[in-house]
Amino acid sequence: MSRYELGKLMFEVTRFPRLEEEFERDSDGVLQRYDLTAEEKDALLNKDVRYMYDAGVHPLLLMMGSRVMGIDMREYLGVISGKSPQGLALPNEN
């Protein structure tokens, strides 16, 4: 598992908004530009936050990048902690 390469894509998707658009339109095209295994590409296509968290992608980056990919912080925390966070002002999709 390559935390660097997975993290790199998450970083670039957050940093360059057009990349997220392109990823939605042409995921395979974008994924080809990164040095990823087939399993890692699947994880990104499925927005598998748990996989990336376990691979060691930096949690702050992962949380921010997931948000750009349409997974809000509340959902992110639910996935990585396995429980639903109570009373947190985590911004929802807006």
Which residues contact another protein by CB under 8 A? 4, 7-8, 11, 14-15, 58-64, 76-77, 80-83, 85, 87-89, 91, 94
- C-alpha to C-alpha distance for 77 and 27, rounded to whole angstroms: 25
CB of 14 to another protein, least distance (A): 6
Closest approach of another protein to the CB of residue 84, in Å: 11
Instruction: Report in angstroms the alpha-carbon separations of 7 from 27, 29, 33, 40, 57.
Output: 16, 18, 14, 11, 5
CA distance 16 to 9: 10
Cβ nearer to another protein, comparing 4 with 42: 4
**CB of residue 26 vs another protein: minimum separation in angstroms?**
23
The span from the CA of 7 to the CA of 36, in Å, is 11
Between 46 and 82, CB nearer to another protein: 82
Distance of alpha carbon 52 from alpha carbon 43, whole angstroms: 7
- Residue 15 vs 33, nearer CB to another protein: 15
